Amino acid sequence: MTARRPSAGGARSGAAEAASAPRAARLVREAGQLRDGTPVRVRPLVAQDRDLLLAGFRALSRGSRRGRFLQGVSDAQYARMLPILLGTVDQRAHVALVLSADGRPIGVGRLRRFASDPEVADLAVTVADEWQGRGAGSVLARELLARAGDLREIETVVSADNRASLRMLARLGEMHSDCVDGDCEVVVRVGCAPVVAPADAA
């Protein structure tokens, strides 16, 4: 699993990026409710979201950063990652979404297909600390899979102590995990019934 390389996605021209923000605004849609009844909306992530992502990352706790990246990541390190994230989103090979509640962004999710097998993808979500535990991660995962449409499996790596992410992934299908040295390599067969229905998801 770790030897796989996610697809880089399609190249984006300057004109395409300039047009992406208004197009994304038109594609905002209702995405249901969180477990506490809060309504949420989702839209595509676009290149103009750089400042939004930086602000959201700066507000994340150390634990949330480690849970997302499996290690501590500084603000400067994250800023250096952004061109790769934003520059490869094409909403096909690399799907990325922003989740909002109460008129402000509360989470970001992304799904990247593996170049060696486009029916398999890595999936990751990040939710603002104050919104964790309400099901925002599960909403993002559901929306990502709905847009992908033809996935067979999810393959990803999750910290063994990130129970919320493991529960979220278990809800997406039949999950198998192999945990070594604190990290779990996870495979989820999308569309298959979970082996064990977990308790609350992320």
Give a yes or no: residue 77 inside a domain. Answer: yes
In terms of pLDDT, which residue wins out, 46 or 11? 46
- How many structural domains is the chain composed of? 1
What type of residue is 136?
Answer: A
pLDDT in tens, 89-148: 999 999 999 999 999 999 999 999 999 999 999 999 999 999 999 999 999 999 999 998
Give a yes or no: residue 190 inside a domain. Answer: no
Give a yes or no: residue 1 inside a domain. Answer: no
Give a yes or no: residue 143 inside a domain. Answer: yes
Q: In what order do the strands lie in the sheet with 153-159?
A: 29-33, 39-44, 94-101, 104-114, 117-127, 153-159, 183-190, 173-180
The predicted structure's pLDDT at residue 13 = 46
Contact 190, 126 (CB under 8 A): no
State the residue range of the domain holding 129.
14-148
Give a yes or no: residue 70 inside a domain. Answer: yes
Give a yes or no: residue 198 inside a domain. Answer: no
Give a yes or no: residue 101 inside a domain. Answer: yes
The CATH number covering residue 140 comes to: 3.40.630.30
The predicted structure's pLDDT at residue 4 = 55
Give a yes or no: residue 86 inside a domain. Answer: yes
pTM: 0.81
